[in-house]
Structure 1
């Protein structure tokens, strides 16, 4: 067992868990962290996607009561049926575009320069979204969403296929710009993440199964466990945070971090591996 590899896997799991549900791009942070750690070969790219499943288990745990009630009422309650339909509709665009464009995006856009640029652009969009008037909110709870609202958020989620954009950032900020309250957009982003990230993880493992072996299980296990624990802490914190705060600090973080990456790359201070 390679102890150094396990430490790298745990660090990557920590990065994934802490960034997956914040509007700061987990994929972007994983690309940058992997570049610094020398953890950026083809197998590590599969690892980065697979450990998202650990973060999703944290969401399932936090929202367990709502998910259990929905499953129990699926056969008879319109509220539960509408909720599942909306999540399915929101999930569909990512499936279609992911299958069509996923390979090309991974081949050409998974670079530190692209990540840094989208960090900055995403930060500016968050600042713009947070300046909208309160009267722009028309949907205060997830259960108030219509199928068309879910489809629009699902289409916005597809922007997150470009690394550095942030899946949660796209769905939360996109949802807010489409008229959802900060709470409704955040909740729907979490629910939409369940099929999206589990599906992406399983598909990536299946497609790249030739790269993997039983010897990789400790590495994947370390990443999954750390990702789950750190995401559980982060999700619970974020739900408390949004009750009284905006996403503006995350916007400034994105802009500052993106500028630092670009500056260190252009100056040669840090050699970011593409």
Structure 2
């Protein structure tokens, strides 16, 4: 992977991670078009640069993260379903991530949902999220374990089903991304890049842990640092745009875009184009 390819992937990640359009689908297209989808570093890179995207949320909403302990209790409650279900179904989720067909179909289905979600929940006006709301949003987020669903879309819609308005639901979705993506990215970094098992960490096997860091080559570290920086900057801009756009216009345009992207992926597959997830 070249530096320019890393920058392009990071831009795609930063633009799509917090929009309801599925970053997975966009990563598949970008990596496939650049011919790097099968490189060992690519999947690790795609997960690792989420750290940069996470940091953008913390920087933009730093005052919220200095709120009372109740704020963190609600985040923890919303995070728990994904933590439990994600760990239990890790192998199933990884298998689904290899399917471009599933990603494309879910892009279309999710797009159709977004065409009508504003109408379905037009009476969602609350801006306060209770413990019950947080837990429900957490379960909705788990739907995004199916590639192509979009974590952002699932959690925002989960909030709107509870009567939460679009802006408040979107912002809580951003906050929830911090523990969710941090846990997923850290797990993949430890297991996929360092080649460690959780048991090695629990046993505090210092020798194996130190040896594992030897797999990190200077060039790989350089790619990861550049990717995280670019994802951080682009994600900050994307979040600002999304909140403004969503408040004014709702989800419909994102719905049309998802449908077009899903149909494009299915058409490319039907024509025999080799897309690798």
| Normalised TM-score (structure 1) | 0.88
Give the paired residue count: 256
Gaps of 5+ in 2: 196-211
Residues 61-112 of structure 1 show CA distances to partners (whole Å, capped at 9, x for unaligned) of 11012223x1xxxxxxxxx232211111000111111111122221243322
Alignment of structure 1 residues 146-185 onto 2, 5 Å? 146-185=130-169
Shift in Å, 1:273 = 2.4
- SS of structure 2 residue aligned to 1:11: helix
Question: Partner residue of 1:26?
Answer: 23
1:107 and 1:233 map into 2 onto residues whose CA distance is 32
Moved more, 156-165 or 235-244: 235-244
Aligned partners of 1:6 and 1:219 also within 8 Å: yes
2:51 aligned partner = 53
| 1-structure distance, mates of 2:150, 2:96 | 17
Q: What stretches of structure 1 move > 6 A for 4+ residues in a row?
A: none
Out of 223, 234, 239, the position equivalent to 2:227 is: 223
The residue that corresponds to 2:207 in the other structure is: none
Residue 62 of structure 2 corresponds to which residue in structure 1? 64
What does residue range 242-253 of structure 1 map to in structure 2 within 5 Å?
242-253=246-257
Q: 2:174 aligns with which of 183, 190, 214?
A: 190
Decide whether the 8 Å contact of 2:28 with 2:276 is kept in 1.
no
TM-score if structure 2 supplies the norm length?
Answer: 0.87
**1:114 maps to which residue?**
102
Question: What is the alpha-carbon root mean square deviation over aligned residues?
Answer: 1.6
- C-alpha separation in 2, matches of 1:103 and 1:222: 30
How far 1:133 sits from its partner (Å)? 5.1
Give, in whole Å, the separation in 2 of the partners of 1:133 and 1:172: 11
